[in-house]
Amino acid sequence: MINVSGMKWIREPEEYSIDPDRVEITTVPYTDLWQRTYYHFRNDNAPVLQMETEEEFFSFIVKTDFTGSHHRFDQCGIVMYLDAENWVKASVEYENASFQHLGSVVTNHGYSDWATTEIPAAMKTMWYRFSRRRDDYCIECSNDGITFSQMRVCHMLEGAEKIRFGIYACSPENSSFKAIFTDMRITECAWKAHDGQQPD
């Protein structure tokens, strides 16, 4: 299990609590992480709680509880925040009473993408597994913390050396909710080397 007390804030939130096995973050309105793409909007003010490592092969697992999310784009999840223009995040974003977006954003050199799929609004918890193989990364999700499904594989242009990774929560519109993070742990890399076509 992770020693949460050793994690550090980027933009410490106004209201939060940290216990050995639980972190709670109350979001503030108009906070987000996004850079440029599609509508040229930029926002870089979401609170992020991270740890630092030079380890090249590992997996990070966390359970998120977003029962309190209720407004469009309310979100919480995992993040690797290197700086304002280089980061990756994965979360469930509330949309309406019918569905939410389970998705991820990769931002390289100041341009974000967004890959999503719709899930029922009744789902209020999600597990994530974030794995590193040098400067390549894999994000997976799970409903039970046992069986994980791949969300995406990506390359981070600035992610080859020391990195910072952890959790975040935000409310991009006029909203606030309590995000809860539990069961955080580091394991050996669960994302195994590719066993198909050999590299050139």
Q: Is the pLDDT of residue 198 over 90?
A: no
Banded pLDDT at 1 (limits 50, 70, 90): confident
Domain count, the chain: 1
Report yes or no on 126 lying in a domain.
yes
Report yes or no on 197 lying in a domain.
no
The pLDDT, as a whole number, for residue 154 is 98
In contact, 169 and 78? CB cutoff 8 Å: no
CATH number at residue 72: 2.60.120.200
Report yes or no on 54 lying in a domain.
yes
Q: Is the pLDDT of residue 200 over 70?
A: no
The pLDDT, as a whole number, for residue 35 is 97
Report yes or no on 129 lying in a domain.
yes
Report yes or no on 194 lying in a domain.
no
C-alpha to C-alpha distance for 166 and 44, rounded to whole angstroms = 16
Which of 36-40, 58-62, 169-173 has the least mean pLDDT? 36-40
Domain span holding position 59? 4-187
The pLDDT, as a whole number, for residue 5 is 83
- Between 129 and 6, residue with greater pLDDT: 129
Q: Is the pLDDT of residue 162 over 70?
A: yes
pTM of the model: 0.96
Mean pLDDT, the chain, integer = 96
Report yes or no on 192 lying in a domain.
no
In contact, 21 and 180? CB cutoff 8 Å: no
